[in-house]
């Protein structure tokens, strides 16, 4: 069996780890072992927070819709319930955008739902 030296691959791995750890503080940016450990934790957080971001935006849209509904004399929960009863399927992202950028169109939609 031919002997395989792994120097080239080890250097490439080390280089990639340290490149990814650029900007970390203390030994986590230049010591391979600490950098790798921090990267594992960082990647786990990145994965989880990509999921959390979806919930964060949904909460933001709910607040914006509710803020636009209050002056019209409605609440968010009753408005969403009325929309579901009418069978209207407009997602919260679009509703929040309408409430913020096109208040007249949003008001017409609210009147149509609550009528």
Predicted structure pTM score: 0.75
Distance between CA atoms of 109 and 115, rounded to whole angstroms? 10
Residue 2 resides in a domain:
no
DSSP structure class, residue 79: H
pLDDT classification of 1: cutoffs 50, 70, 90: confident
What is the average pLDDT value for the chain, to the nearest integer?
95
Q: Do residues 74 and 110 make contact, with C-beta atoms less than 8 angstroms apart?
A: yes
**1 domain residue, yes or no:** no
Domain assignment present for 106:
yes
Q: Which letter does DSSP use for residue 1 in this model?
A: -
The two structure tokens encoding residue 6: 């792994």
Enumerate the H helices of the chain as residue ranges: 7-20, 32-69, 76-86, 92-101, 103-114
Instruction: Report the percent of the chain where pLDDT is more than 90.
Output: 90
What CATH code is carried by the domain that includes residue 57? 1.10.1900.20
Q: Is the pLDDT of residue 112 over 90?
A: yes
DSSP label at 70? G
Domains contained in the chain, number: 1
Over residues 17-65, the pLDDT tens digits come to: 999 999 999 999 999 999 999 999 999 999 999 999 999 999 999 999 9
Judge whether 100 lies within some domain: yes
Q: Domain residues for 55? A: 7-114
């Amino acid at each position: 069996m031919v002997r395989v030296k792994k120097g080239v691959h080890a250097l490439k791995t080390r280089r990639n780890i340290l490149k990814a750890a650029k900007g970390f503080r203390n030994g986590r940016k230049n010591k391979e072992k600490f950098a790798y450990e921090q990267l594992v934790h960082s990647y786990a957080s990145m994965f989880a927070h990509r999921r959390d971001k979806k919930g964060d935006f949904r909460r933001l849209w709910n607040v914006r819709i509710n803020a636009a509904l209050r002056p019209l004399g409605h609440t968010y929960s009753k408005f969403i319930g009325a929309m579901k009863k009418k069978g209207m399927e407009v997602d919260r992202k679009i509703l929040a955008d309408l409430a913020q950028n096109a208040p007249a169109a949003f008001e017409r939609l609210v009147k149509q739902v609550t009528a």
